[in-house]
Structure 1
């Protein structure tokens, strides 16, 4: 049902979305991004589909984009067993949403970020790869822990396929966001 080569990029894109840094303006999105900037590490697991039970670990670091728009440039690696995969992403605010790509985007072997919104300590991003649509929901549980769930649309339902928990290893810690 789900190919490992398509599901893992969704997971890594989710982490990429969460490591953005603030723009000059102090709007709600910038506050969220500031609270999750830095270096993160953590395990994840594919929870549905053909590769259900596959475990992985990611080491990710986000830095501000070189543009005037709020966004992220991400670099890092994720490991499945003995295999390491380089990860990269660029995500930029566009109007009230977000655009960007993970790896080389949906036209290549990655995926596209097609929408997004942030509310308090939670980010929801729309993701797409050709005919696969989905969403990433990330919640900053506390200043040191972020939970990420990636779901894909199957028929009319969103089915969770990846879950992961990232722990901060270095970087900024802002607590004003948590309630």
Structure 2
């Protein structure tokens, strides 16, 4: 049961998804890169499954994000999410693909994860389309402030997007290296 939950939760590791008609143009590339650089770092926080068979299930995640490269927009995430005593590794890669985004959560739709099939960055928010077999949906990650991020994963049911997972992550300020000036 919990492994199935984590397969769905794998979509949030990204902690950083609706097909978007807003395709970034060439001038958006630096803006997109700046967004992903701003969400790099260590994040921790609680989440909850808010709809479906496992509604009410609470979990906690700890995720670390790094830029995919010095020239591309995107992020690579690694970490874990925990439900009670069950702990599941989480990973995701989101990279720019022409005017949109591609990538995968966990091992992609061919395994136990999800594929990222589209995406766009708009200000302090990224929206990426997710897919697994007949499941289509979106993950939206938005910064409330530089140290707080909200993530919502929704799935398409008939012609409506239904939120199924909500997560609030706080930047782990204790993990940031600090120095001194002599």
TM-score, with length taken from structure 2: 0.82
Measure how far apart 1:5 and its partner are. 4.9
* Counterpart position of 1:71: 74
In structure 2, relative to structure 1, the CA distance for the partners of 1:70 and 1:161 (3 Å cut) is same
Backbone CA RMSD of aligned residues: 2.0
* Counterpart position of 2:45: 42
* Counterpart position of 1:112: 115
* Counterpart position of 1:121: 124
Q: How does 1:13-92 map to 2 (within 5 A)?
A: 14-15=14-15, 17=16, 27-66=30-69, 68-92=71-95
Following the alignment from structure 1 to structure 2, what is the Cα–Cα distance between the partners of residues 164 and 96?
A: 27
For structure 2, the residue ranges without an aligned partner over 5 or more in a row are 18-27, 177-182
Following the alignment from structure 1 to structure 2, what is the Cα–Cα distance between the partners of residues 105 and 67?
A: 24
* Counterpart position of 2:168: 165
- Deviation >6 Å, runs of 4+: none
* Counterpart position of 2:146: 143
In structure 2, relative to structure 1, the CA distance for the partners of 1:67 and 1:100 (3 Å cut) is farther
For structure 1, the residue ranges without an aligned partner over 5 or more in a row are 19-24, 173-179
Contact persistence 2:108–2:115 (CA under 8 A) = yes
* Counterpart position of 1:176: none
TM-score, with length taken from structure 1: 0.83
Structure showing greater Rg: 2
Q: How many equivalent pairs are there?
A: 162
Contact persistence 2:6–2:88 (CA under 8 A) = no
Following the alignment from structure 1 to structure 2, what is the Cα–Cα distance between the partners of residues 112 and 43?
A: 24
Following the alignment from structure 2 to structure 1, what is the Cα–Cα distance between the partners of residues 45 and 85?
A: 16
Which shifted more, 59-68 or 27-36?
59-68
Following the alignment from structure 1 to structure 2, what is the Cα–Cα distance between the partners of residues 70 and 122?
A: 14
Following the alignment from structure 1 to structure 2, what is the Cα–Cα distance between the partners of residues 7 and 101?
A: 13
